[in-house]
Amino acid sequence: MDDCWSISTGDGVSLAPEGLTDLLAVHHHRLIDTWQGLGPAQWAHQSRNTQWSVHDTVRHVADVMERTVVVANGAQALNKTDFDPRSTPIAWLATSEGETPSVTIERFAKASASHRARISERFAQLDTARERTVYGTAHWTVNVVHVLWDSWLHERDVLIPLGLPADSSEEEERLVGLYGLLMALVPSMRMGQSVSATIQLNGFGIRTLKVTCDARSLCSAEVTAAERVISGAMPAVIDALAGRGVAVGDALPGAPEQLGYLAAFFNSSEGQTEHAQP
């Protein structure tokens, strides 16, 4: 097996700097290309977010990217602002109400380029800062992957209802798979539960991941194949863990009940509009 990737709240992402920024560039450019090809009826179509159209969803992705850049450039006040996943994204959308799709795309393109440039700068500075995340403080690269996970899910929220292929690169699948499992154990971490599970995700290749949680930290890492694992298709599993598609138990038969806690929130009447952000 090639080098194993990992993400932890303590040490961040194990990828080499250029590997992470190249992966993000592929993802960002694909989003822009896809959005530029949509017509008026497609922009107005309902997304998988029950209260949002395709354009609303894309505006949200642009909003998140702009705020990510602001925070990364030192606006620490944003890190201390309470974020409510049920209401804050809706409040953000009010600012761009009525803008055209071309303006939304332009906002995202500008912010995503700044985002990648800032990541490169921070790696070059050997930055090891810890920042506020949905799990407390963590290595700053964890927030970078959180934003990738969020936009990857929203890309599917747009494309699947439109009947369009939701493609991604092998590198994206690996990193989003690692993070999707990490994110799923946030409720257990907050409740002080210890959890450990070994999971096989089938996508471009077959990857075996071990995810662990205790009261202070989370870790998700690719490992060599184990004898006793639970398995499922990567896109379906990550969708299910984020409250999309089938139930977690159907996408990942035999999964520990703790892996379904976050999906239960996303599927609740309060959680259907949006999903957790840092």
pLDDT tens for 139-165 read 999 999 999 999 999 999 999 999 999
Domains parsed from the chain with CATH numbers: 16-168 (1.20.120.450), 171-266 (3.30.1050)
Question: Is there a contact between 13 and 158 (Cβ–Cβ < 8 Å)?
Answer: no
- pTM recorded for the entire structure: 0.91
pLDDT in tens, 12-24: 999 999 999 999 9
Over 80: is that where the pLDDT of 114 sits?
Answer: yes
Over 80: is that where the pLDDT of 9 sits?
Answer: yes
